[in-house]
Chain A
């Protein structure tokens, strides 16, 4: 079992342009982050909110995940090459080639431990959580700062195409972080990611044994009808709904988990799907 010791939420639904985060970051941290792009600023903002006033041990690991990474920089580089025959700026090139966001988060929090950027075709947040869960259980890490960062880009049609979502999908952006630890003392909640994808029959078996008042939440990949069907089949469960609105982004499950911590006491099962199988994460904050 692993424990959540803190959470940080940054979640917005831009309409026309990316919000200017540099000023918000300066207000919050008192620092100016040169040579950073929107994606990096998003990452620092969320991580800063999760760390709060804590001084984290230097060896704290950073596991950063995202569906598309710094897609606005990559798109800009492609545009500059195709339309203007321009070379990439060195800073853009470095940020493109590596997990620079993780580097800047590490610099901001003075951390020199393991620092990963990982992703997955369907479940980036859950797979990053699984990697952290393994390292904490093995004792390879004592503390992991795990963040999901996805940015909104103005070229909405392009973004929807790449994400494979319908033209009516409202996209959002987020930087949601959890401070994870293998120790229970002072923890806010337990969290567990089921390491294997579940078939519909295995999911049904699991949900049928869910204790009364277990909250369920379904990822954006479920439509209303599917969610209603689940809730009818498992009347002992109730549907959790975050108070804060959010658009579609691929690391959204971390927003949901953090929102539950902020709003509720109890047990939550987060259910996501790749269209065929299911991935679940359970969180409980009523027994600590």
Chain B
């Protein structure tokens, strides 16, 4: 069995008690960001980690990744070094953060000089973390749209099961880049005001930033109350731009996840939905849940709290879920009322008292990427 030893998260919600209070009280307010490439430079809500430094996000990537890793390692290894045989698994919707600056400089006719690590591109940041913390296990960087970091998490578990490594550092990374905001704005997928998962008045998603880290090991190495039970990742070939609104692909991955984890639907304490607030995406997700379950479990979305953190959402939402349950609750889903009339089952309306149980986490993205996994927290 795979133990989840702990997690760290940088997001718009701040840290520690401030973050838990926001989740408990259903309060989270996004900043705004201007899409400068549009003639009228419209403002869109955006959940930013730090709204004082939005100019050069890419310059902060290493700092953010190092911070979450340092905090995690210092808590888990009490100040001593992590074992060298630790693998690094990083998921992001952009493998090209490290390419952006040198490419822009060359386009502008400037010499980027000697590049850090002598090369940029896929795997750059995972390699920097390996070097910074003296890790020598294998590393992989995942780019599977909104399922990137949860796929990294699940493959890290497989690497542990195969005894290739003793510990796995899994990281999720998503920071605002102009091209990301412009792309989603252009496709008219962004809400101008509020993220309303499964709501009748939902009008799109709100993007967010998140940098997260989770430490895993086999349960025979170290024990924890949190475990990864299993999951599945599938490719739905309906459309490159989204899931089949009929829900077939989503139902398939949910069923396979339950089967892999050997968990029956009735054993699920709650389900963390993808819940983007997108019209078709929420429809597909609801149809998928209706097909997969006779009775849909209590479900909730965390995106009204930190926004849609794209490739980083897998791990960021996993960390938030663990923190909430460790603090005795599952948060209500704000702004979901009134519920879409087509849906029979609303998301969690008020905080649920939960201290342990089995939790399904679902993620769906561009490129037909569907992933579902199940975690368990045993009684404290």
Contact = CB atoms under 8 A, between A and B. Distances in A.
Contacts of B141: 118-120
A82 B184 CA distance: 19
B120 interface: yes
Contacts of A69: 95-96, 121-122, 143
A135 B368 CA distance: 21
A54 interface: no
Nearest to B106: A158
Interface in B305-319: 310
B123 A93 contact: no
Interface string B29-45: 00000000110000000
A85 to B, nearest CB: 6
Residue of B123, B182, B235 with most chain A CB atoms under a 10 A cut-off: B235
Interface stretch (B17-25, B132-140, B340-348): B132-140
Interface in A82-103: 82-83, 85-88, 90, 93-100, 102-103
A82 B104 contact: yes
B337 to A, nearest CB: 31
Nearest to A155: B106
A177 to B, nearest CB: 16
Interface in B204-253: 232-237, 240-241, 249, 252
Given A82-B107, A113-B235, A164 B240 contact: no
Contacts of B100: 78
A121 B127 contact: yes
Interface in A27-70: 35, 62, 66-69
Interface string A163-190: 1100000000000000000000000000
Contacts of B99: 68, 71, 74, 162
A110 B366 CA distance: 17
A97 B366 contact: yes
A97 B126 contact: no
Residue of B127, B158, B310 with most chain A CB atoms under a 10 A cut-off: B158
Interface stretch (B7-15, B159-167, B190-198, B265-273): B159-167
B55 to A, nearest CB: 15
Given A119-B143, A130-B138, A112 B187 contact: no
Interface stretch (B110-118, B281-289, B327-335): B110-118
B235 A163 contact: no
B56 interface: no
B252 A196 contact: no
Contacts of B186: 87-88, 90, 93
B162 A138 contact: yes
Contacts of A110: 237
B99 to A, nearest CB: 6
Contact of B233 (A114, A119, A128, A250): A114
Contacts of B162: 134, 137-138
Contacts of B117: 121, 164
A120 B123 contact: yes
A172 to B, nearest CB: 16
Interface string A130-145: 1100110110100000
Contacts of A86: 37
B144 A115 contact: yes
A79 B107 contact: yes
A279 to B, nearest CB: 9
B82 interface: no
A122 B117 CA distance: 10
Contacts of A157: 106
A161 B115 contact: yes
A81 interface: yes
A112 to B, nearest CB: 6
Given A114-B234, A196-B136, A99 B145 contact: yes
Given A102-B367, A124-B122, A131 B140 contact: yes
B64 interface: no
B119 interface: yes
B103 interface: yes
Residue of B122, B182, B187, B236 with most chain A CB atoms under a 10 A cut-off: B122
A164 B237 contact: no
B151 interface: yes
19 contacts: A67-B122, A69-B143, A74-B99, A78-B107, A90-B187, A93-B184, A94-B241, A96-B94, A98-B144, A98-B145, A99-B145, A112-B236, A116-B142, A119-B141, A121-B121, A127-B139, A134-B159, A134-B161, A196-B85
Given A90-B183, A112-B249, A155-B106, 19 more contacts: A83-B107, A87-B37, A87-B183, A88-B179, A98-B365, A98-B366, A98-B367, A100-B240, A103-B235, A104-B240, A117-B143, A117-B144, A119-B141, A121-B124, A124-B123, A138-B161, A161-B112, A162-B119, A195-B138
| List of 10 A-B pairs having minimum Cβ-Cβ separation, nearest first | A119-B122, A98-B367, A93-B183, A115-B235, A98-B145, A164-B119, A121-B127, A121-B123, A164-B118, A98-B366
Interface of B: 37-38, 85, 93-96, 99-100, 102-104, 106-108, 112, 115, 117-124, 126-127, 136-145, 151, 155, 158-159, 161-162, 164, 178-180, 182-184, 186-187, 232-237, 240-241, 249, 252, 310, 365-369
